[in-house]
Amino acid sequence: MQILDPASAETDLATHARALALLKAWHKWRGERPIPERADVDPIDIPALLEHILLLEVEDGDFRFRLVGETIASRYAVRMKGRSICELMGGTSLDETLYEHRRCAEDRCAVLITNTEAMTSLGDIRSYTRLLLPLGGTGRRADHIIGVMQFYR
C-alpha cells in the first residue's frame, strides 16, 4: 500500500493508466479545493472507467458500496452494491481493506494498493491495482471514496 499526495501523485501512477485517468478527473472536479465533493463527480468525464469504478459511502468504522462497476462486480461474483465491506469480508483481508479505506477517508489522501499473486495470504487471489481517492465531507474526514481497479489476470 502506498499513501500518495493527490497533488503530486501523477508520477507515481504513470504505469497505471486507469488510476492516472481517475486522478486527472478528480483534479478537475476539485478545482482549487483540497478535495472534490461527491456532487462534483461527473461520469461524462470518465466514460472509459465506469466499469472499473467503485463509489463507497463512509460510515462509522465501515464503508458501504454505492456504485460498483461491471468489471469489478463480475470479478468478485457477489452482489456488492448496498453492502458494506464488513458484510462482505472477514479476517486479515477485512482488517487490511478497512485500514486502506480509513487512511483514504481520515487522512483525505490517495491510497494505491497493489495485490499480486505473492500476496494471496490476504485471501484475495486476484492480481490488481486499486486507487482510492477521497470525496467531500465536513470537517476532517471524507464522506465518500471513489476508486478504480485494474485487474491483471
pLDDT of residue 121: 43
pLDDT of residue 114: 87
Helix or strand holding residue 101 (H, E): helix 91-107
For residue range 125-150, list pLDDT tens digits in order.
568 899 999 999 877 899 999 999 99
2 Cβ contact partners less than 8 Å away, ≥ 6 residues apart: 12, 111, 112, 113, 114
pLDDT of residue 125: 58
- d(CA 133, CA 153) in angstroms, rounded, equals 24
Per run of 10 residues, the mean pLDDT along the chain (length 153 residues) is 82 88 95 94 94 96 96 90 95 92 95 72 67 89 96 80
